[in-house]
Amino acid sequence: MRTYQGKGVYGAIAIGRISVFKRQDAKVRRTHVDDASQEIARVEAAKELATQQLQEIYEKALKEVGETHAQIFEVHMMMLEDDDYNDSIRNLIETQSVNAEYAVATTADNFSEMFASMDDAYMQARAADVKDISNRLIACLGGAGNAKDKQTEKMIVCADDLAPSETVSLDKDLVMAFVTAYGSSNSHTAILARNMNIPAVIGVGEEFLKTIADGMQIIVDGYTGEIILEPDEDTVAKMSKKQQDDLRKKALLQELKGKENVTLDGTKVQIFANIGGVSGVGAVLANDAGGIGLFRSEFLYLESEDYPSEEEQFQAYRKVLESMAGKKVIIRTLDIGADKQIDYFKLDKEENPALGFRAIRICLTRPEIFKTQLRALYRASAYGKLGIMFPMITSVSEVKKILEICEEVKAQLREAGVPFDEKAEVGIMIETPAAAVISDLLAPLVNFFSVGTNDLTQYTLAIDRQNAKLEPFCDTHHEAILRLIKMAADNARQHGAWIGICGELAADTSLTETFLRMGIDELSVSAPFVLPLRDTVRKLDLSK
Amino acid sequence: MKTFSYVIKDAVGIHARPAGLLAKLAKEYSSTVTIEKGGKSVNVTKLMMLMGMGIKCGDTVNFTVEGEDEEAAAKAVEEFMQNNL
């Protein structure tokens, strides 16, 4: 048994046998050719054949993966018509008296080099497109199309790399999964795999290629990117179970996807997801969450060696907003201190960090850090539906101060002509008993509340969450906590604000009914809990 | 000669497909359509060079259209940019 690590591009598990992908050897020899015009005529004929093949692939892709993803083959056809590309081939044949195959291969190297050297991952991935069309052209010069294997059993295709056209050309009914040694998750191949719902792992590395042979048993875990060659019995049993669970979960997902979060009596609630970084967005969408109820912005600071710049932050926020395509995204401003420490902030050691210098207290003491983040947030608001949320609020004066700073930032942007969403919502976390108790005074100042039940629990019950000894005393359903949440919900409603819950209690399905009866508008949970929670909601009847 | 500027709004910038469509569109006219960014300019019918410019979201590009049907070509290109990029 040997394991390899790659990058999963489509989450699913496959257990089966390897089929090593064979392609026509694209190695090209340079030969001397006297009759340049005949070589050029050969290129023209090959181009015609290649275009015809691409047209067929385009039509196949259109049926299997839809228009958006089939369009790349249209682009391939256009690339084949590109003047510079063709001029380069013709020039090489004419000036260096080389054969057509060599001229195409050299041209392909030059153009893919150009894309590969660009400082943009998307464009770098285009180098593969140039190689793909060129290999096709070379194959067509040999008078043949791509070699096709006669294969009847469902296999796991392993290759060095798969060009988009090769991915689509694979017979979907005979491919269980595919694994490549190279490749980027930005490549069209990865995108196509996702759309064909084929488990795929890319970038497994060269070692893997050297070890594999046709017929070897292999397990592909598209979730973790793990590849297991010749697994032992225990591993097969374990992974089979994971596969079954996954299929069951997907069946539930399929059934609940696109359905409303509505109870039997017609009460609706939003179910959002919590994320801790840009990469979490995939899971949010895959689990059909209605938005992001808590995007912890700390990761930007934790992953950095120094204060992240406005531009870095802006790019990250924008990416999430754009990926969510108009769905609500609530980003919480910096929440460090307590259990989350960052060296470059140079915070003093504290006797009691949970009650110490943290979150909004740091932001209000060091407004330059706060303003940088707010500018980045407001700039990003032009790209989606943003809500900005402030943590650890205890008083009206804090909120007033925060809003003043927001207005200042907005005024600067307005003056500089930088676009932002004037209607971007602002809200606060209800995670201290103080905030809940004065929620009648806070609600008129903001658009929304979001209850952070983890901190609210520890502050209300005076129980340290990290201390295992206190577990018998820690009743997360404590009446005091529920009363505080209800108080905040009542006050929110009365003042026209909406209220959500983003702490762990939101995912506790034994409380869902209680929360809905309180009039909670939104529950934000980690992505895997979205659909089970939807399931719970859809079975509730509040009229009883 | 007609000229105009445009700020790219598409998140990925001028990526493969719109570049292909833009090149195709420009070929329908006899006028030469040139796109310029940061001192570098290419004829937009040259698809690979156009993609190679790495034009990103937020970039300002300047178009120059020159030829017999420049009026119509400029209008078509400008409309294309607004609808696709």
Give contacts of A 41-70 with B, CB under 8 A.
none
Taking an 8 Å cut-off on Cβ atoms, the answer to whether A71 and B12 are in contact is: no
Residue ranges, comma separated, of all CATH 3.20.20.60 domains in chain A are 265-426+502-536
CB proximity A87 to B under 8 Å: no
CB proximity A75 to B under 8 Å: yes
The least confident of A122-131, A319-328, B72-81 is A122-131
Taking an 8 Å cut-off on Cβ atoms, the answer to whether B56 and A120 are in contact is: yes
- CB contacts, 8 Å: B48 with chain A: 79, 82, 84-85, 111, 114, 130
Confidence band, pLDDT 50/70/90 cuts, at residue A513: very high
Answer yes or no: is the ipTM higher than 0.90: no
Q: Please, which residues have CB within 8 angstroms of residue A526's CB and are 6 or more apart in sequence?
A: A273, A274, A507
Q: Is the pLDDT reported for residue A440 higher than 90? A: yes
Contact A447, A405 (CB under 8 A): no
Residue whose tokens read 């900005």? A388
Instruction: Identify which of A425, A424, A442 has the alpha carbon closest to the alpha carbon of residue A488.
Output: A442
Which among A78, A120, A123 has CB closest to B20?
Answer: A78
CB proximity B51 to A under 8 Å: yes
Q: Is the pLDDT reported for residue A188 higher than 80? A: no
What confidence score (pLDDT) does residue A366 get?
94
Which among B15, B45, B48 has CB closest to A79?
Answer: B48
* % of chain A at pLDDT higher than 90: 51
CATH topology of domain B2-84: Histidine-containing Protein; Chain: A; (3.30.1340)
CB atoms within 10 A of CB A493: 15
What confidence score (pLDDT) does residue A147 get?
46
**Whole-number Å distance between alpha carbons of A39 and B9:** 44
Angle between helices A188-196 and A36-65 (to 10 degrees): 30
- Dihedral angle, C-alpha A15, A19, A23, A24, nearest 10 °: 180
pLDDT tens digits, B1-48: 889 999 988 877 887 778 888 888 898 899 999 999 888 888 988 888
Confidence band, pLDDT 50/70/90 cuts, at residue A24: low
pLDDT tens digits, A462-502: 998 777 788 888 898 999 999 999 999 999 999 999 999 99
Taking an 8 Å cut-off on Cβ atoms, the answer to whether A78 and B52 are in contact is: no
Which among B20, B23, B54 has CB closest to A123?
Answer: B54
CB proximity B34 to A under 8 Å: no
If you count residue pairs, one on A and one on B, with CB atoms under 8 Å apart, how many are there? 50
CB proximity B7 to A under 8 Å: no
What confidence score (pLDDT) does residue A93 get?
93
Question: Architecture of domain A1-23+148-236 in CATH?
Answer: 3-Layer(bba) Sandwich (3.50)
- CB contacts, 8 Å: B52 with chain A: 114-115, 118, 123
**Whole-number Å distance between alpha carbons of A294 and A390:** 11
Residue that wins the pLDDT comparison between A296 and A24: A296
- CB contacts, 8 Å: A123 with chain B: 51-52, 54
CB proximity A370 to B under 8 Å: no
Confidence band, pLDDT 50/70/90 cuts, at residue A331: very high
Taking an 8 Å cut-off on Cβ atoms, the answer to whether B51 and A82 are in contact is: no
pLDDT tens digits, B18-28: 888 888 889 88
* Minimum distance, in Å, between the CA of residue A316 and any CA atom of chain B: 13
Residue ranges, comma separated, of all CATH 3.50.30.10 domains in chain A are 1-23+148-236
**Mean pLDDT, rounded, for A139-152:** 60
Instruction: Identify which of A318, A231, A224, A252 has the alpha carbon closest to the alpha carbon of residue A1.
Output: A231
Residue ranges, comma separated, of all CATH 1.10.274.10 domains in chain A are 24-141
- CB contacts, 8 Å: A126 with chain B: 16, 51
Most confident of A269-278, A297-306, A395-404: A395-404
Q: What does DSSP assign to residue A340?
A: B
Could you tell me what percentage of chain A is helix, strand and coil, using 3-state DSSP and rounding each to the nearest 5? 55, 15, 30
The set of long-range contacts for A38-45, using a CB threshold of 8 Å and a minimum separation of 24, is: A39/A93, A39/A99, A39/A100, A39/A103, A40/A90, A40/A93, A40/A94, A40/A100, A42/A100, A42/A141, A43/A86, A43/A89, A43/A90, A43/A93, A43/A100, A43/A103, A43/A104, A43/A137, A43/A141
pLDDT tens digits, A85-141: 999 999 999 999 999 999 999 999 888 888 888 877 777 778 888 888 998 888 888
CB atoms within 10 A of CB B3: 13
- CB contacts, 8 Å: B23 with chain A: 78, 82
Q: Is the pLDDT reported for residue A148 higher than 60? A: no
Q: Is the pLDDT reported for residue A507 higher than 70? A: yes
Contact A399, A438 (CB under 8 A): no
Confidence band, pLDDT 50/70/90 cuts, at residue A149: very low
The least confident of A96-105, A369-378, A402-411, A438-447 is A96-105
Taking an 8 Å cut-off on Cβ atoms, the answer to whether B54 and A120 are in contact is: yes
Q: Is the pLDDT reported for residue A265 higher than 80? A: yes
Residue that wins the pLDDT comparison between A382 and A118: A382
Taking an 8 Å cut-off on Cβ atoms, the answer to whether B51 and A115 are in contact is: yes
CATH superfamily, with its number, for domain A265-426+502-536? Phosphoenolpyruvate-binding domains (3.20.20.60)
CB proximity A509 to B under 8 Å: no
A188 is catalytic: yes
Domain spans of chain B? 2-84
Which among B12, B24, B45 has CB closest to A83?
Answer: B45
CB proximity A119 to B under 8 Å: yes
Q: Please, which residues have CB within 8 angstroms of residue A142's CB and are 6 or more apart in sequence?
A: A24, A101
Interface probe, candidates B14, B15, B48, B56, chain A, greatest A C-beta count within 10 A: B48
* Minimum distance, in Å, between the CA of residue B18 and any CA atom of chain A: 9
- CB contacts, 8 Å: B44 with chain A: none
* % of chain A at pLDDT higher than 70: 95
What confidence score (pLDDT) does residue B47 get?
86
**Whole-number Å distance between alpha carbons of A504 and A525:** 7
**Whole-number Å distance between alpha carbons of A403 and A446:** 9
What confidence score (pLDDT) does residue A187 get?
65
Question: In terms of pTM, does the model score above 0.90?
Answer: no
What confidence score (pLDDT) does residue A25 get?
56
Confidence band, pLDDT 50/70/90 cuts, at residue A218: very high
Q: Is the pLDDT reported for residue A318 higher than 60? A: yes
Q: Is the pLDDT reported for residue A394 higher than 60? A: yes
Pair type for strands A217-221 and A7-10: unpaired
Taking an 8 Å cut-off on Cβ atoms, the answer to whether A122 and B12 are in contact is: yes
CATH number of A24-141: 1.10.274.10
The catalytic residue among A140, A188, A363, A406 is A188
Residues of B recognised as catalytic:
15
Q: Is the pLDDT reported for residue A145 higher than 50? A: no
- CB contacts, 8 Å: B16 with chain A: 72, 75, 126, 129
